[in-house]
Structure 1
Amino acid sequence: MHRMHNNNAPLHQQQRGFTLVEMAVVLVVIGLLLGGVLKGQELINSARVKNLVNDFRTTASHLHTYQDRFRSLPGDDPGAAAHLAGAITASTGGTVGNGRVDGNWNSTTATDESLLFWQHVRLANLAGGDGRNPGAEGMDVTTWLPRNAVGGRIGVTSTSPITGWGGSLFVCQDNISGRLAQQVDINMDDGLPNTGSVRLMANGSATSAAIAPADLNETALYTVCTSA
């Protein structure tokens, strides 16, 4: 007489758990995936830092090259319209021809020297971008202005953006996380947000006090400025 198989055996008798080897393999795979993600993010951040540093250096280079060629600063050039077809001479933000790029670094006033800096260097073929009059009808100044690798503004001014910081020319960029900002500072200067030729302030500010080292937050956003 054949014995009948018991298909009603308890569930725990029908199922088999993971062995230690299988669990170890799963953990190794998870570790490799996490390592790959972290490494990928590290490479992305490194590329962004390089782009931000390059923007600081090339912007300062635009100014010096323009000055060598035309004997005036872009934005402050009283003869811009004479040697650059379509160039606008600044009428606000300072005194034209005084050897300073006046106006806030993040100005959106189309007749300010600090904003027209970009039109002049573009028309001189020193920088890429739209060289048309930023104040023309239908123009959107916010999209006309240059952007950095993280979508923030890039700007130039001779007015010190940091309280008590001396200098004749400053290049600023905003929307930069504390982590990236610190790497930019380490790459270009001393790694401290309130000393040296690279300093940090509140994000998007025209002028502000420098951020103290103890207040630097890796995930917060900052404006980073260099003294060129």
Structure 2
Amino acid sequence: MHNKKGFTLVELAIVLVIIGIILGGVLKGQEIIKNAKIKRLYNDYQGYVAAIYTYQERYGALPGDDRNAATRFATCNPVPTNGDGDGRMDDEDGTTWGRYWHHLRCAGIIPGSGSTHPTHAFGGRVYINYNDYNISGHTICFQNVPGDVADAIDRTNDDGIPNSGSIQGDGSATTYDPATSYTLCFRL
């Protein structure tokens, strides 16, 4: 007679319970990380709004639209391009994208240098525009936001509909698709 050794059902059950606990912890950890990124994206939006209003209060002009930026920040490297004073921060001429970031950085309001667009927690670029989607006026937009994230932010802070309200991710859709990435724009 051969004496075969193996795992008992109790031992197998204990191993499965341990695997379940580990998987549960990993999934919960991923959820916590994702929720932190969502919060960080929304906080970044609020920080950019505060930076823009700080600049406007301090210098009497909008960043990117400041006609005196080159003189005001002559020691900034590189020296920024002046705005045209039309009341719009966006770079409607298409040649000076990110001028608003450069003005904010030269003023020491946000970190960095030059006109490079910052990126957000999900890796997309952040920019300022005018009349995006169905929002009139200035918007702060975050590119490549996952659909479930865009939905969560819009639902928590606005109306949850991608084509209405002060937060929009699409000019015509009525629901967010979790499999689609959006450019999520916030009214300034």
TM-score tier by shorter-chain length is 0.7 to 0.9
Partner of 1:70: 59
Deviation at 1:102, TM superposition (A): 3.1
Partner of 1:50: 39
Larger Rg belongs to:
1
Q: Distance in 1 between matches of 2:179 and 2:36?
A: 18
Among candidates 79, 88, 103, match of residue 81 of structure 2:
88
Deviation at 1:167, TM superposition (A): 2.2
Q: Distance in 2 between matches of 1:16 and 1:194?
A: 65
Q: Distance in 2 between matches of 1:33 and 1:21?
A: 19
Per the normalisation by structure 2, the TM-score is 0.88
Amino acid at match of 2:169: L
Q: Residues 110 and 116 of structure 1 are in contact (CA less than 8 Å); yes or no, is this contact kept in structure 2?
A: no
Check 1:186–1:77 CA distance in 2 against 1; reply closer, same or farther (3 A cut).
Answer: same
Q: Deviations over 1:121-164 (max 9, x none)?
A: 00111111113xx5xxxxxxxxx32111121101112x2121xx
Q: Distance in 2 between matches of 1:182 and 1:59?
A: 21
Gaps of 5+ in 1: 1-8, 91-95, 135-143, 202-208
Among candidates 1, 4, 28, match of residue 39 of structure 1:
28
Check 1:178–1:212 CA distance in 2 against 1; reply closer, same or farther (3 A cut).
Answer: same
Does structure 1 residue 161 correspond to structure 2 residue 132? yes
Sequence identity percentage: 38
Deviation at 1:181, TM superposition (A): 1.5
Partner of 2:108: 125
Amino acid at match of 1:33: I
Per the normalisation by structure 1, the TM-score is 0.73
Secondary structure at 2:169 match in 1: strand
Q: Distance in 2 between matches of 1:148 and 1:69?
A: 26
Task: Calculate the aligned-residue CA RMSD, in Å.
Answer: 2.0
Secondary structure at 1:25 match in 2: helix
Q: Deviations over 1:78-128 (max 9, x none)?
A: 1111212222114xxxxx111112336xx9x5524xx20000000111111
Amino acid at match of 2:36: A
Deviation at 1:191, TM superposition (A): 2.4
